[in-house]
Structure formats: C-alpha cells, structure tokens
C-alpha cells in the first residue's frame, strides 16, 4: 500500500506530462503537414460525436465562421448549409463520407453535364436541389442523391441522379429518368481501400475515365428517353 501511495502520484504526473506533450506536439491533421494546429474541426454529428481532427492556418476551412476539416466542409456545403453549423442538430454521422463524396462528384460532373445537356434543355425549367440530400429507399435504407432535372426543348422531363446507398457507401449509381445506367466505385476509393499509392498522372487519368464512363451512361440514358419516351411525356 505504502509503495502504491508513493508511486501512484508520480505515474499520474508522468501520464499528464505525456498527455500534454502529445497534445502539444500533434501536428495538423493534413498528411505530411508539420505545422501547429490553430483549431479543431468543430463538426458535431446528430449523435453528439465530434470530429477529432485539428488544422493549421493553411489547411483549415472556414464556412459561416465555423472551422472545419475538408471532408466536413464538403459535407456542410453538400447539405446547402452556408451559415454557422453551431445550431445544426441533425448533421450526418462524423464518419459518413457519402455527402462529401456526392458533393465532390457533383462539382466535377456539373460542368461537363451542363455542357452536354445545355443545348437540349429549355432554359426556364431547371430544378435545383441542395448538392446532396437524403431520402429513404423502399427497403428503409438511407439513399444520398444529387440530381439535375430539366425539361428538354420538346418538353420531355429529364431527371439525372447520382445515388449512393448507406449500406454500399462506395458504390455510385447513375440513373436517368429512374433507370440505372451506371454503377461503379471511384478508382481513388478503390486505391484508398487497397492502400495503394498512385502517382498524380495515373490518378488524373483514372478519374477522367471514370467521369467519362458516367457521362457516356447519361448520354445513353437520355437517348433512350427519346427513343422510348415516358408514357406521360
């Protein structure tokens, strides 16, 4: 007993010292950045779980006055939240990458899709949603989507969706007027899962091939809408 009563405070102090040393010496959460963090990511999800990353001046992202990591900045933007997230009580789970992924895909696909469909659409009828939104699938699974909806110059409705189910969080489906035209996993996610390191040129090439496959699938889907128009069109 005597031994423990003497040693225990020392161990306790040692632990405290180690803990504070670790906290002080933990660098910015950006891989390979050694700068001192200036702020944690303030994202708190609907279960009151906090993001445990911290960011230096250069790598933090500020949206509506809130400091966020890049993933959660994308999540917040994907949900269409532009102000402070302090009052947002129902944010997706901290580890849910889907809203961020959907937002990322939408940003990359929007310019070529707009260019592709721009010449066919009626200028006044374009419905916009938040970049990502959640709906419940028929079997109760949460489905994250992003959509482009418009009437073409003949008045035919065209509805293009990106969709990712929460129970298959890396598989992207692309639908045109409800018909699936494509599903696949982005190559950079496959590499991350396999722990591959990929040089920038190959990464760029694979991304281009992936996006081109989606654009080709959308074109096929739109063409089949013209060949086999919806009954109520």
Taking CA atoms, 34 is separated from 29, 39, 55, 60, 73, in Å, by: 9, 14, 10, 14, 21
Select from 54, 67, 69, 173 the one that contacts Zn ion (CB under 5 A): 69
Q: How far apart are CA 117 and CA 125, in angstroms?
A: 13
On whether the CB atoms of residues 91 and 77 are closer than 8 A, the answer is no
Q: How far apart are CA 20 and CA 11, in angstroms?
A: 14
Least distance to Zn ion, CB of residue 46, Å: 15
Does position 43 interact with Zn ion (CB under 5 A)? The reply is: yes
Query: How many chain residues touch Zn ion (CB under 5 A)?
Result: 11
List the structure tokens of 205: 């090439």
Nearer to Zn ion, 30 or 91 (CB): 30
Least distance to Zn ion, CB of residue 207, Å: 24
The interface region with Zn ion, picked from 5-13, 64-72, 121-129, 137-145 by CB under 5 A, is 64-72
Does position 62 interact with Zn ion (CB under 5 A)? The reply is: no
Q: x/- contact string, 71-100, with Zn ion (CB under 5 A)?
A: -x----------------------------
Taking CA atoms, 110 is separated from 15, 163, 171, in Å, by: 52, 15, 19
Nearer to Zn ion, 70 or 120 (CB): 70
Q: Which residues are near Zn ion by CB under 5 A?
A: 28, 30, 33, 35, 41, 43, 51, 56, 59, 69, 72
């Amino acid at each position: 007993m005597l031994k423990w009563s003497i040693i225990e405070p020392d161990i306790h102090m040692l632990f405290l010292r180690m803990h504070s040393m670790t906290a002080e010496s933990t660098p910015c959460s950006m891989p390979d950045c050694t700068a001192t963090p200036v702020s944690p990511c303030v994202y708190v999800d609907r279960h009151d779980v906090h993001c445990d990353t911290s960011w230096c001046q250069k790598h933090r992202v500020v949206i509506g006055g809130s400091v966020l990591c890049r993933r959660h900045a994308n999540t917040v933007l994907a949900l269409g939240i532009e102000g402070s997230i302090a009052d947002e009580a129902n944010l997706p789970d901290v580890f849910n990458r889907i809203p961020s992924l959907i937002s990322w895909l939408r940003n990359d696909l929007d310019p070529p899709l707009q260019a592709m469909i721009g010449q066919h659409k009626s200028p006044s009828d374009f419905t916009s949603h938040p970049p990502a939104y959640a709906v419940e699938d028929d079997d109760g699974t949460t489905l994250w989507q992003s959509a482009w909806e418009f009437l073409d110059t003949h008045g035919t409705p065209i509805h293009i969706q990106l969709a990712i189910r929460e129970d298959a969080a890396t598989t992207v489906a692309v639908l045109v007027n409800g018909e699936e035209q494509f599903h696949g996993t982005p190559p950079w996610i496959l590499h991350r899962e396999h722990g591959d390191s990929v040089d920038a040129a190959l990464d760029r090439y694979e991304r281009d091939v992936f996006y081109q496959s989606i654009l080709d699938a959308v074109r096929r889907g739109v063409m089949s809408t013209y060949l086999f128009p919806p009954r109520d069109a």
